[in-house]
Structure 1
């Protein structure tokens, strides 16, 4: 108990509300009892959350047990049932974790306490090694991290073993439940727990301590890599959040990998180790006029004129979209086009208002379009090239029509036969993609 109190004082001295994740297993039961006792002495509010994954036939019994335990300790309990994709095996475990953490993220507490212990940490490290993880993955489970803007996640038992927790629960005569799925060695974590780690302990009885040392070193290495990436990206990332490939090409390959990975991850993308190497090849070594499209999770990675961009996957609407112009509402949203159309008023130039009255539509490019430009007619293809618009943006740029007359290609050209003249106000259309590009 003294250890737990010291850990709380070090990590969250001002915590007023702690919520403990209670599954009903021995580890979470121990943590719940320990925090209940600590709450009485320290004066913080304690509550619990139980997530019913509805996978095991006894899941309802486990929820009832958690309700009984919290009632006996006078602890408020938040329960939630989740639907988990029955993919089976380790994919089922990953789906359950994702669903569980979504419920955790709804916590209103300052701190959400999880009962992961040293054996969980050792299993996680070995799983990460077998997945080929780098320093960030080998840093495994941190003691604390942000869960949401207002809730911190806390793992105070990472230095305690499963045997120590079971011994404590037995001495205190605490009751807990056993999850029979923990014996299923078809799951990788259970295979390590039951078949590998006991044999490892025969030759390396202190393997947990050694692995935890490796965790701390990996965490330090990951922090250094993050600092280096932040320093490099200050030089590589432009005002529009694109990445300068000339600068990226002039650092070492490991440094380039680190910077590109960090840049993609900061924006919510994802790159596997193999995908990272392939992305570097396509960004740095492909022909100058090549414009690759690389899937990186929710984004696509591409390049144009020696800069890399992250763009949202987008399909151009096949049919025209009608809209109305009003000087009182100069910005219009077009979710199907993935952006906004804004009309900037100017005193001299821009489309005259009569050209924006009635029959307005947004249409995709069909090929062969042209615009009058100060007495000559230029093809839209040439205007887009002259504007330096990246190919991916040309493909998803909406064209503005009044009936069958092309008024403008925002950012590339305006029909100069329809410009406003002084003293009338004109309007310059600007297209603003939601992803910034």
Structure 2
């Protein structure tokens, strides 16, 4: 085979690997093609970068990191590419300190560019320096508007993503999200979060209008559908209770829980993620008492907290104070929860604490000590221990905080962004 033929075959491998990566980044043939090219051309940095990104897509993070670090060590024109990919990789695995180091290097290598400054600010916002990170993102977007106005929509979208991932307050998120959606109305990811921002700000009509638009575009949009069902419930409650108003609902603070919940879900650190982490560290003496969980569909149809009953639908007695709550609490099953709620309604006089007169009285049963105490989630999202004829004893700002606290107590790691841990 002539040298030209060999070069043609290598070029075909390169083209095919690029095409496969574009269509399916984790396609197994990519690694084989990349290895064949690199066997003939070990200095083909473009193919090394492609292989690194393929490995990252396959969640083979250590191998991808080794490749990118090797390219960075070449200290040539590909250094900025390696820094950017390492920034993304370390952010993906929640190693924010390392991500910030690579983000800072990329920013230094491109001092006039808005893109790397925006990512630096976004990663900085994952740390305890969130305010500084948000300010730097704002400056990067302003720089984009001045120097690269055609890409302002992309800048706003990236900024909005980072604001979501770093639990920025609605007053900071809303202007960015509204502009991003104006430039790209099809971005449902940002639109869904904007719904909850409007809700927290008390902009109920804006929330309704956006939810209706999203449902017209996609009738299966779960966030919009859930909020419209909630509005219908509230509307009926207001009709039967003229003393209650939307202004009171807003002022009560019970809507704050939705903002934190939507952030946890988008970041991937909500109750389900905490429960998965808990599975890895629970001692056998506790895990052996847990009953099998329900399917996601079954869990949604119960009166229990969906993530909990999908994880384990109840717990047998016998684990003692396994959860560190100061009593022999165990998880309630969905069937037990339904029976308890029926009994509370059937004899309201005997159970005054359990009557839901207004939206502020809502609760979700989680655990019992099989005596007279229960762990409940309250309307504002906080977790409390409820005992007869006593004020609720709040033990955690929200379910995520309680569960991640248990993960740490059992020897695991809280993988949430530093600024989110207990931030309520």
TM-score, normalised on structure 2? 0.32
TM-score, normalised on structure 1? 0.31
Higher strand share: 1
Looking at CA atoms only, which structure, 1 or 2, has the larger radius of gyration?
Answer: 1
